Amino acid sequence: MPEESRVPPPAPAAPRLLDRLRHAIRTRRYSPRTCEAYVSWVVKFIVFHGKRHPDTMGAAEVKAFVTYLAVSRRVAPSTQNQALSALVFLYRHVLGRDLERVTDLIRAKPETKVPVVLSPDEVRRILQHLRGLPQLAATVMYASGLRLIECLQLRVQDIDLERGQLIVRGGKGQKDRRALLPPQLASSLRAHLVRLQKDHQDHCRQGRGEVFLPESVHWREALEAKEWRWQWVFPATRFHVPAEGTMKRHHLHETAVQRAFALAVVRARIDKRVSCHTLRHSFATHLLEAGHDVRTVQELLGHRSVSTTMIYLHPARRGGVMPESPLSGLPRLPGGTGGPAGILKLGSPLISPEQPYNSDTNRAPTEPWTGRAPRNGRD
């Protein structure tokens, strides 16, 4: 065939915007959940502006979208800041444009909330209404102070029953740490692992038994996907077939534990806004109430700054006893029923119900030489 008749191969198609975004996120070692959240916000941003390409938009469109989230959707400040961070990442690392000047105008001030804490009796009542894997997972979360995803991503090699500790790998901020494993939980975990190992051996004989490995070891230790040490402590009930076609097992999904926990809270008659993360709050507060050092609790929780751990000191400054209110120091009013330290009877009317309120007879006293009420602190 002559040289002139050869047709050059077609040029490869340019990667799509979302593929470029995922590649930039993974290159910087962001967590898979961050990647999923950032891609979701970019898609919502494009749809909000009539499916225009972000390269044709700029700071004004970003500000309009974030303002819509804050004013019309009334999202939480953390959600607003996450959406803004996703768009700033898109323009800075994918499109090569900087939107830093806009972030100062529309970044929300973070809220400071007092964490909800359960009493030990309330924790016991909730755990009594759980069954199976959700009960064991909730017990581990309270006993070790783990987040829900940290608990579900535990593998067999992360449990050290002899030393009484757990190893959390790739936690928040991609940090590893050690956590408590109380001896009261060792027997339950040991029996659970024995059952898991028997099931794993049966699955291996059936040609299954592989699990998803971390990205850092998948390429060089792919043959270890069937090894016992890589198995999930809380495995899913079904296997998953990914794109490459090999049947693998994932860990138990978070929603399975969340639904069971929410039902247990209702059955335990807990009148608080409680989630699985409340067990972590209760773990930290109960340790501080027991007199443990705040630095120790900080390391167990994996907090970067001790100021984050300080929010759990609100009821634990004096062994779980809140300070006495200054109301107890007020003198007893006439008609009060007494009580400790002369506390007045709350709810007792200062004006008799038989005597209707009269603006003429119940108004403030006036000064005789001016006919006006005295001004507080100035006369």
User: How long, in residues, is the chain?
Assistant: 379
Cα within 13 Å of Cα(291), Cβ side:
0
Name the token pair of 91. 């323009």
Cα–Cα distance measured from residue 109 to residue 265, given in angstroms and rounded to the nearest whole number: 32
Closest CA to 67 of 50, 52, 48, 95: 48
CB 294 within 8 A of CB 313: yes
Distances (CA, A) of 224 to 210, 214, 239: 8, 11, 17
* Residue 60: both structure tokens together: 């004004």
The secondary structure of residue 372, as a DSSP letter, is S
Tokens (6 digits) for 205: 């004989």
Coil vs helix vs strand at 103: helix
Catalytic residues: 147, 172, 277, 280, 303, 312
- Coil, helix or strand at residue 379: coil
